[in-house]
């Protein structure tokens, strides 16, 4: 039996991500054109920043010539989530060559965090160098293909000024959350993990309504810490 490479597996798993990225990146390209950015500017931004919310948010300040500090501060606030995602992924790439890892991490996005995370086996402490290498290949399979779709999509959107027909928007809107939730379903094992997952999902919306940038990230952090702390406390008590 022929086994497919981790890169190819990752690329196949990322197909729904491409489907979701195409309209969003097209929309970004259209918006960039509307704001008067040059084609190369949006392509450069998609390649270097590779983070939808920060890119959309930067269009107006860039176009209106707001201060660089203001744009950078906004980028810091919006993209701070990558710190937490990168930290959660760190154990799975522990034995990978540093230079390779540093090059590949540009591909980290919400999607290239969720998909590989759900794919990696749970206990990261006993991973062999081969396993961490395969983990990285899978991550690159998801990340590189999605990244390419994102950059190309923003360029094509700019060029074609294409808009998604209204009837398809709702389906595209739910595509990725439904995929992530389906992946998470098989991952959440144990009462604590399940409770943390459900509570974080419910609390994220009011959290984000209170503070659009920090709210959902803050609630996720607090709920994970509380759940973990309570579980430790109960375990100690039962010894």
* Binds other proteins by CB under 8 A, chosen from 76, 100, 121, 160: 76
* Binds other proteins by CB under 8 A, chosen from 4, 68, 160, 233: 68
- To other proteins, the closest distance from the beta carbon of 5 in angstroms equals 20
Burial of 51 (0-12, 13-18, 19+ CB in 10 A): buried
* Binds other proteins by CB under 8 A, chosen from 4, 48, 121, 160: 48
* Binds other proteins by CB under 8 A, chosen from 62, 140, 149, 151: 62
The SS3 of residue 127 is coil
Contact 163, 128 (CB under 8 A): no
Question: Could you say whether residue 191 binds other proteins (CB under 8 A)?
Answer: no
Residue placing its CB nearer to other proteins in the complex, 71 or 152? 71
* Binds other proteins by CB under 8 A, chosen from 9, 33, 133, 156: 33
Residue placing its CB nearer to other proteins in the complex, 44 or 160? 44
Q: How many CA atoms lie within 13 A of 98 on its CB side?
A: 0
Instruction: Classify each residue of 176-212 as buried b or exposed e, where b means 16 or more C-beta atoms within 10 Å of its C-beta.
Output: beebbeebeeeeeeeebbeebbebbbebbeebbeeee
- Within positions 194 to 233, which residues make up the interface with other proteins, using CB under 8 A? 196-205, 207-209, 212, 216-217, 219-221, 223-225, 227-228, 232
- Within positions 144 to 163, which residues make up the interface with other proteins, using CB under 8 A? 158
Residue placing its CB nearer to other proteins in the complex, 42 or 149? 42
d(CA 28, CA 32) in angstroms, rounded, equals 6
Stretch that binds other proteins, among 1-9, 147-155, 190-198 (CB under 8 A): 190-198
Nearest Cα to Cα of residue 42 among 25, 19, 18, 24 = 25
- To other proteins, the closest distance from the beta carbon of 20 in angstroms equals 10
| Residues 6+ positions from 72 with CB-CB distance below 8 Å | none
* Binds other proteins by CB under 8 A, chosen from 163, 177, 233, 234: 177
Nearest Cα to Cα of residue 37 among 73, 62, 66, 74 = 62
Contact 224, 200 (CB under 8 A): yes
* Binds other proteins by CB under 8 A, chosen from 4, 5, 40, 60: 40
| x-or-dash string of contact with other proteins, 88-127, rule CB under 8 A | xxxx-xxx--x--xx--xx-x-x--xx--xx---xxxx--
Residue placing its CB nearer to other proteins in the complex, 47 or 152? 47
Q: Residue 169 has which token pair?
A: 């928007």
Furthest C-alpha separation in the chain: 65
Question: Could you say whether residue 164 binds other proteins (CB under 8 A)?
Answer: no
């Amino acid at each position: 039996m022929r086994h497919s490479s981790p890169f190819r597996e990752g690329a196949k798993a990322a197909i729904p991500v491409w489907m979701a990225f195409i309209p969003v990146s097209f929309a970004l390209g259209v918006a960039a054109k509307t704001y008067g950015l040059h084609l190369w500017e949006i392509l450069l931004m998609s390649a270097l920043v590779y983070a939808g919310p920060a890119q959309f948010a930067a269009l107006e300040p860039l176009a209106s010539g707001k201060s660089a500090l203001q744009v950078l501060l906004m980028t810091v606030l919006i993209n701070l989530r990558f710190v937490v995602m990168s930290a959660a992924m760190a154990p799975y790439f522990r034995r990978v060559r540093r230079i390779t890892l540093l090059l590949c991490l540009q591909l980290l996005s919400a999607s290239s965090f969720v998909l590989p995370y759900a794919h990696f086996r749970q206990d990261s402490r006993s991973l062999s160098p081969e396993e961490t290498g395969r983990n990285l290949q899978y991550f690159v399979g998801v990340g590189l293909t999605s990244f390419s779709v994102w950059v190309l999509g923003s360029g094509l959107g700019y060029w074609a000024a294409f808009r998604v027909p209204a009837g398809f928007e709702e389906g595209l809107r739910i595509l990725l959350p439904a995929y992530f939730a389906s992946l998470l379903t098989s991952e959440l094992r144990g009462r604590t993990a399940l409770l943390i997952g459900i509570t974080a999902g419910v609390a994220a919306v009011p959290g984000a309504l209170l503070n659009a940038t920090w709210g959902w990230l803050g609630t996720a952090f607090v709920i994970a810490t509380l759940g973990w702390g309570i579980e430790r406390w109960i375990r100690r008590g039962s010894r």
